[in-house]
Amino acid sequence: MEEDCCATQLIYGDGEFNADGLDRFVKEVKLAECGVSYGVVAIVGPRSSGKSTLQDHLFNSKFREMNANSVRSQTTKGIWIAKCVGIEPCTIAMDLESTDGSERGQDDTAFEKQSALFALAVSDIVLINIKGYSNYALIINAPQPQLMRQEMFKRSLDEQDKPFLETFFQVMMSFGIPRKTMFMFVIHDNSKTPFQHWHPGLRKFILNVLFSKALEEIWNGVPKPQAYKSTRFSDFFSEEVVVMPSYEEKEKFKEEVAQLRQRFSHSISPGGFAGDRRGVVPASGFSFSAQQIWKVIKDNKDLDLHAHKVMVATVRCEEIANQKFNKLINDGGWLALKEAVQTGPVQGFGKRLSSIVGTYLSEYDIEAIYFDEGARNSKRQLLESKALDFVYPTYTTMLGHVRSKALEDFKVRLEESLNKREGFTSSVRTCTQSSMLEFDEGCADAAIQQANWDSSRVRKKLQRDIDAYASSVCSAKLSKLNGNYEKQLSASLTGPVEALLETSGKDTWASIRKLLNRETEFTISKFSAAVADFELDKETIAQLLQHLRDYSRNVVEKIAREEATKIMIHMKDRFFTVFNYNSDSMPRVWTEKVDIRSITKDARSASMKLLAVMAAIRLDEKPDNIEKVLFSTLMDGIVSVSSSQDRRIGASADPLASSTWEEVSLENTLITPVQCKSLWVEFKTETEYSVIEAISVQEAYKRSNNWLPPPWAIMVMVVHGFNQFMLLLK
């Protein structure tokens, strides 16, 4: 039985609080599991009033009983607690040291007052044990009038029990009690006539009139703070008077105790002894609350029970919150979920995480439900905030996976759509909508119930990534498309332009311009149709088309510059073509009738025209005098000078002693005047041998065809050979 009641000394006689013992007691009786479904009963009274004896029989608490023969010994030192065995719900019995100061002396009543204050602060029911009422019976049976008997009763009560009653009344006004405390006055019957044998009216008169009046008188006589001047005893307490037989009548005593014991079952129910549950400290905070209350009382400080309640709730709720948070961070499901998210997206992430977080928030709510609402809600918010901050990095990692997957799916969808020859812009629009919808669904799956986290930042990043990728693909497609059309332009221009430049004539650049415009416009029309699917703005399209125009012009210019570097070869080829072949493209025979000088001039003139054509790029149809300057300067006598302008050109000192041509920009110059002069000198040098050789061939031809002797020789032969001829005839 002693093991069941777990009797423990809570406060030692010297005032030291047994915190370790209380913690063990709470664990042994499983008090923390009771919530607010528990009660605390304290029993107080004068020395040798039978407090511990009554409590042991009433609650099976087995407190030490005072040896009846040890008159000067005190039954209880300090404060003891024990579980009331067999009473539901859980009820804690508290046995206090005597409240009349007789054991410690009248000069040392501090502990009695402190213990009384402590009992009032933590107890729901206070049993005030009174030694006996034999004197009261004599007063009631006296022949005096009722008022006089009432005064005699009060005076008798004052003499026996007033000291510890005043102690209770004084200390309770030093703090506010949030609920009514039940005062149960237990009077032990030590009269010759048992109380139950008295007339019912007389018993009622004693319990409801004399005793209540006496208590009210004692209450009114206690000095009160200003705030309690007009208060009544009934504002703070509900009282009940119970008369018990003397312990000497053991059977009767046990019978009455058993009946009273039944009344303590379900004492916290409405209408029970402790039915007022306002301000009750939840059982899980009882240990801490009791320690703090005793500390405040011991330090002789003012005890504000409401503030104490909030403080206990704050500390205890914080402890519960920390416990739940520690369990959360070590939760197996959470650790597995966190590890899984590190490698990729997890289906049902939000639901699983919500369940994990919700589990510990619910556990907190269950354990902290009975604490002060303000403190409870505050610590819950902190717990929730702390838990959400803890899991938020994993949530962002999950969103990162969702974003990455949506982006990768966008890339795959876009590639598939483009492979099907669908329009680029429409494909991007459709694939973007699908990926953003996929992301939104992923965010919804990752969201947890306890938080309203904003995923717009990640969504905007996904949109930027999609736009950037689409732009890069667009640029790549346009670049590829542009490259294809550049190749087409290059292919359609290179051969014809090279041929035109090689066969340079009077209309070479006009033909090149015509070819350039035709091929460029044809390519641009096809390119415009191709880029229509990209839905580009007008400015961008104009830039792309201008790029193709510039490219086609650059192709021609590049070909012209390349051909200009081979001008000597082309000039010699032109010279030898004209010089060595006739108009029918037949090789010339250098007979005596052939005018080599005239042919040489024609060949050199053709080469000069080629040099004039290749000297500058003429894609802008601007007139120039390059050919005339070259002919007038390098081909004296070949071209006649008729106009005044031509005469001025011919009369100039050296028109070719310059690095630029008139009316021709530097970027359009292929061969400068100085270079033309140098080339011409080199050209004449390299072709002179062919002319000399042709003349030599002609001379040899002449000699080979002239085999008859001169006429004078024939005449000499006729004259001198006539005689030989006639002789022969004869």
Q: Which amino acid is at 345?
A: P
* β 181-189/125-130 pair status: parallel
237 occurs within a structural domain: yes
Domain boundary (415, 447, 480) is at: 415
Range of lowest pLDDT (219-228, 233-242, 707-716): 707-716
Specify the amino acid at residue 364. Y
SS3 109: coil
* pLDDT beyond 50 at 221: yes
The pLDDT, as a whole number, for residue 309 is 74
Q: Which amino acid is at 101?
A: G
Write the pLDDT tens digit of every residue in 113-127.
778 778 878 888 888
Tokens of 230: 């007009």
Nearest-5° Cα angle at 481, 475 to 484: 140
Q: Are residues 342 and 395 in the same domain?
A: yes
Do 228 and 325 belong together in one domain?
no
Same-domain pairing of 81 and 99: yes
Contacts of 529 (CB under 8 A, 6+ apart): none
Average pLDDT over residues 547-567: 93
Q: Which of the residue ranges 222-226, 305-309, 498-502 has the most confident prediction, judged by mean pLDDT?
A: 498-502
Mean pLDDT of 564-574: 91
Instruction: Give, in order, the Cα–Cα distances in Å from 496 to each of 142, 493, 500, 522.
Output: 150, 6, 6, 16
Q: Are residues 350 and 229 in the same domain?
A: no
Residues 56 and 189 occupy one common structural domain: yes
User: Are residues 317 and 223 part of one domain?
Assistant: no
Q: Write 537-546 long-range contacts (CB < 8 A, 24+).
A: 544/478, 544/482
In the predicted structure, residue 208 carries a pLDDT above the cut 60: no
Give the confidence band of 473 by pLDDT, cuts at 50, 70, 90.
Answer: very high
- Which has the closest alpha carbon to 698: 585, 579, 525? 579
Convert the pLDDT of each residue in 249-258 to its tens digit. Answer: 778 888 888 8
State CA 10 to chain mean position distance.
52
Report how far residue 97's alpha carbon sits from residue 83's, in angstroms, rounded to the nearest whole number.
18
Classify residue 370: in a domain, yes or no: yes
- What is the sign of the dihedral through the CA atoms of 465, 467, 471 and 474? positive
Distance between CA atoms of residues 662 and 688, nearest Å:
31
* Contact present, 62 and 78 (Cβ < 8 Å): no
**Shortest CA distance to 187 belongs to which of 215, 152, 223, 145?**
215
Residue 98 included in any domain? yes
261 found inside a domain = yes
Q: Which of 234, 269, 303 finishes a domain?
A: 303
- Which residues fall within 8 angstroms of residue 561, CB to CB, at 6 or more apart? 670
Instruction: Give the residue from 287, 265, 231, 235 showing the smallest Cα distance to 81.
Output: 287
In 15-78, the DSSP E strands lie at 38-44
Query: Where a domain ends, among 400, 415, 430?
Result: 415
Query: Mind listing the pLDDT tens digit for each residue in 266-298?
Result: 777 766 776 666 667 888 888 888 888 888 888
Same domain, 312 and 272: no
- What CATH number corresponds to the domain at position 281? 3.40.50.300
At residue 95, the pLDDT reads 85
My answer on whether 282 and 365 are in the same domain is no
In this predicted structure, what is the pLDDT of residue 648? 47
The answer to whether residue 539 sits within a structural domain is no
* Same domain? 263 vs 333: no
Is the omega angle on the peptide bond into residue 46 within 30 degrees of 0, that is, cis?
Answer: no
pTM: 0.61
| Three-class SS state of 127 | strand
- Residue pair 400/458 in contact (Cβ under 8 Å)? The answer is yes
pLDDT digits (tens, 9 = 90+) for 690-714: 899 888 888 887 777 665 566 777 7
Tell me if 238 is assigned to some domain: yes
Instruction: Answer yes or no: are the C-beta atoms of 185 and 242 closer than 8 Å.
Output: yes
In a domain, 570, yes or no: no
Cα gap 474→482, rounded to integer Å: 12
Range of the domain at 406: 307-415
Radius of gyration, CA atoms only, the chain: 63
Q: List the one residue out of 471, 350, 332, 330 whose CA is nearest residue 399.
A: 350
> Which range is least confidently modeled, 53-62, 396-405, 435-444, 662-671?
53-62
pLDDT tens-digit readout, 109-166: 677 777 877 887 888 888 887 765 544 444 444 444 444 445 544 554 545 556 656 6
Q: Which residues of 609-632 are buried (b: 16+ CB within 10 A; e: fewer)?
A: bbbbbbbbbbeeeeebbbbbbbbb
Place 523 in a pLDDT band, splitting at 50, 70 and 90. Answer: very high
- Comparison of pLDDT for 644 and 580, the residue scoring more: 580
Q: Is residue 376 part of a domain?
A: yes
Query: Does 271 share its domain with 344?
Result: no
The domain tally of the chain equals: 2
pLDDT over 70 at 578, yes or no:
yes
CA distance 451 to 663: 77
The model's pLDDT over 2-11, given as tens digits with 9 standing for 90+, comes to 456 788 889 9
User: Are 353 and 247 part of one and the same domain?
Assistant: no
Poorest-pLDDT segment among 164-178, 240-254, 638-652: 638-652
**What is the pLDDT at residue 646?**
47
Residue 481 has pLDDT above 80, yes or no: yes
Side by side, which strands form the sheet with 181-189?
8-11, 79-83, 90-96, 38-44, 125-130, 181-189, 237-245
Check residue 84 and give its pLDDT: 86
Q: State the Cα–Cα distance between residues 365 and 516, nearest whole angstrom.
A: 84
- Quick one: 248 and 364 in the same domain? no
Between 261 and 63, the more confident residue is: 261
Tokens of 698: 């002609």
**Mind listing the pLDDT tens digit for each residue in 67-110?**
333 444 445 678 888 888 888 888 888 888 766 555 555 445 67
The predicted structure's pLDDT at residue 650: 46
263: enclosing H helix or E strand: helix 250-264
pLDDT at 67: 36
Nearest Cα to 245, choosing from 186, 183, 309?
A: 186
Q: What would the pLDDT profile of 597-622 be if each residue is shown by its tens digit?
A: 999 999 999 999 999 999 999 998 88
Residue count of the chain = 730
* First and final C-alpha spacing in the chain: 194
